[in-house]
Amino acid sequence: MKRVRFRSLDDWKSALLMLPDDSYFELMRSVLGNIKTPFSKQRLMDDLVGFLSREAIQNTIAAYIDKTDHTIIAGVALLEEPTLEELLRFFAGEFSYPELHKILINLEERFILYRFPQQGPRRFALNPLLEPVLSPFMADTSPLFPWKEEETSPSAPGSGARLTVDDRVIAALVGFVLEEDCLRGDGGIRKKALDTLRLLFPGLNAAHLLDACRTLGLFQRGEGQSDRLYPHEARLRAFAELSSGERLEYCAAGFYCFLWFHSKKAVQVSTSSQNLQEQVRNCAEFIHQLLDFLEPSRHYPQISLWRFGDLLIREGLEPIQGSTGHPYRLDWMLEALELSGLLEPSAPGWWRLAAHPQKHGIKGPVLAMDTAFSFVLYPELRFEDALSLAFFTVPRESGAALTGVVLRVELTMQSVIRGFDRGMDTKTMLDLLNRVSGNRIPQNLRWTLEDWEQRYAEVSLHQGVVLSLGKERRYLAEAGPLASLVARTLAPGVYLLSVPVRAEAVKVLQKVGVDIIAQRGFAVFPREDATEERPEDTGEGYPVLGRFPLHAAWIPGALHQISADHREVAARAIQEGFRRALGAMAAADQEELHARIERRVIISETQLTGAVLRHENLEARGLDYVGKARIASQAIATQSLIEVLWPCSTGGNNHAVGIPDALEKWGSERVLIIKPVSLGETTECTRHEQYLGYAAGPLKEILRLPLGKISLLRRIKPSIFGS
C-alpha cells in the first residue's frame, strides 16, 4: 500500500478555499484579526501561509502538542487519511465519541488537521505546512500501542504451574476420543465425558479445546453411531506438518469460529464444510499476524491488541464472513488465545505472550517411565511422536510437579489392541518408546506386549476389500503393483487388500492385464446410500502461515524521543504570557480570549490585540431552563450533535450523544426528542460497548427527555469542513 505522509500544500489550500465564505472569513479573522475589504480569499490565504510558516509560530504550535494531540496525530498518520468512522473504531476504548469529536475540532482550529472533500465521507489529513513540527510526532507511535516491560522475580520451580495447551495435550485428546463414547445424540458432549476431561486436564477447559478440534475437522462423527467421535487421520497428518506454534494458532481459530458460528449474535452465514474451513484459515492468519506484533518481554493492554488487529484488517487480511464493525470480537478472541495457551493474563486487562519450550535440537529423553505401564510426557515431546503414542495409550490425570506440569499416559491391553487394529505392531511401539525415553524401557514390558500381540493374532475379524486369485494367477500377488496392496494373506489365493475402496483394486488389476474381474455381491449400479466410492478427504486445509510484512511505522516504540515535560513547561509559560497581554480588555472579551488560550488556539499576541470575537454559549446546566431550551433550538435548527446527561436511577448519570429532532410540549413540560448515535448507562459503559465492538453503528432508540430533568445539555461544535 502506498503510504502518503502529507498531501500537497495545494490540497490543503484548496480544502480551505472551498469552505463557505462565512466559515472561511471567520477562520481568517481568528488568526489575522479584523481583515480589510474588499475581501480577497487568495490574498488572505497567502497571509495565512506566511503566518504559519514563521519559526516562532511553529515553535509555539509544537510546544502546545500534548500527549492527546500526539496520539491523534500519530493515529491519523498511521491510518493514512482516515474517515471519522475509522478513527472512532481505532480509538474505541480510549475516547468516547464526544471526546474524540472535541479533540478533532480543536486540532482543526489549531491548523494541525483538516478534512478534504472527496466522494463519500471526508477524510482527515495533516497540514503539510507544519511538516517540520508534526513529523517527529507521526514517527513516534508509542502512544498508540502502550506496553510495559516484563517484571521478573525469582520463583521456585513449578510454583504457579498450570496445564496449558501444547502438543502433548492435543495428542492426549486424540487418545481420549478413541477411548471414550463422548457424544450425545444431538452432537453435544456427554456429562460423563466432561467430568472425565476435567480429571484428565485439571485447570484446562479441555471441552472447549475439543470443540475447537472438531471445528478444525481433526475429529469426525462416526456414521450410524451418533455417540462416537473418531480421529480424522488425514487431517491429523496435515496438522502435524505445521509448527507447534501454528497448531496452537489453528486451535485458537477453531475455537473462535466455534463461538462465532454458534452465537445467536452472528448473522446468518453458510456453515458448509468448505465455508467453515475458509473462515478458520482467515481467522488463523489473523491470529498469526496479530501475535507477530508482540514482544515476549512485554505486557500489553487490551487496547493495543485491538489496534494491532485493526491495522491488519485495514491491510487486507480477510475477516470472518458476515461480521460488522470490527471483524473480530475482542472478548472472544482473547478467550480463544488464552484457551490455546498463546496469551496469558498478566494483570487485570493486561496480556503477554505465553512461553513454550523450544523443541529444536533437543537431546535426551522426552518420556519417562512412571510405573510399570505408565509414562510421563515432557513438554518437549514432538507432536508426531505424541500422536503415535495416543493411538496405543490412554491419557491419565495430569498435575503439577517440582519441574512444572506433567501429563501421564498409560498402556492398557485395550489401548494396545487399538494400536494393533490401526496397523501397529509390538516392534513399532517399542521402537517409539525406546527412542523418546533414551532406551529406558524394561524387558518385562516387551514380554507383555509380545504376549498381547500373539493373542491378538489368534482370533481376528477383517473388513475391507478381499481379492481371490486362481492358481494360475497367484503370481500377481507376489510381485508387481498388486503385491504392494496385499495387507494379509487369509488363505491360499485369498488376500486382504490395503486399499480403502474397491475401485482402486480394479484399476491395479486392469493395469496388470486382467480383463475379467468378478465382483459378486455388488450391485451393477451403486445404491443411493453407498459410501464406498466416496473420494477420500486428503486432509488439506492447514496452509503454513507466513510472516506479514510489517510496516516500520506499526512497530510500537518511540522512534524520535520528544520531551513531553519540556513541552508542557514551555506551553504553560506561553499561555501565561498571553494572559498577561489581555490587559484592560472588556470582561466579556477577556472571558472568550481566556477560553481560546486554554484551547491553545491563540499562538500569537496579534490574535489578542486584533481579535474579532463572536460570543457563543454552547452548554447549559441544571436549573438554567431557558438556556437549555435556547441551545436545544439552535441544535435543532443546525442539526448539530448534542451531548446530554441526566440522572440515573441507580446513581450517577446517564449519558447520550445524538441529533435533536424536536422540542415537544407535554403538559407543562417541554420534551427534547433525540436520535442517539451512542448510548450507555454511563460513559464507561459506552466505552466498553464500543471497545468490544457491540456498538458497531448508530443506535435506533429514540430518547424523550424532559428539559427539566437534563443536568447538562451541550451543543457539540461542528467542524468548519463539514462531516
CA dihedral 138, 140, 145, 149 (to 10 degrees): 180
CATH for the stretch 9-144+557-609: 1.10.10
Where residue 426 falls among pLDDT bands split at 50, 70, 90? very high
Looking at the predicted structure, is the pLDDT value of residue 585 above 80? no
Q: Buried b vs exposed e over 633-669: b needs ≥16 C-beta within 10 Å?
A: ebbbeeebbbbbbbeeeeeeebbbbbbbeebeeeeee
pLDDT score for 520: 53
pLDDT score, position 250: 94
| Mean pLDDT score, 568-584 | 87
Q: What was the pLDDT predicted at 432?
A: 95
- In contact, 387 and 177? CB cutoff 8 Å: no
433: how many CB neighbours lie within 10 A of its CB?
24
Q: How far apart are CA 351 and CA 333, in angstroms?
A: 12
Question: Three-state SS string across 381-440, please?
Answer: CCHHHHHHHHCCCEEEEEEEECCEEEEEEECCHHHHHHHHHCCCCHHHHHHHHHHHHCCC
Q: Is the pLDDT of residue 514 over 70?
A: yes
> Between 684 and 203, whose confidence is greater?
203
Kindly report, residue by residue over 604-641, the tens digit of the pLDDT: 988 887 666 666 778 888 888 888 999 889 888 888 88
In 262-329, alpha helices (H): 273-292, 302-314
Average pLDDT of span 286-292: 91
Convert the pLDDT of each residue in 518-566 to its tens digit: 555 443 333 333 333 333 344 445 665 654 555 555 555 544 445 677 8
DSSP code of residue 484: G
Q: Give residue limits of the domains in the chain.
A: 9-144+557-609, 243-356, 367-458, 466-511, 619-715
The percentage of the chain sitting over the pLDDT mark of 70, rounded to a whole number, equals 80
Mean pLDDT for the chain overall = 81
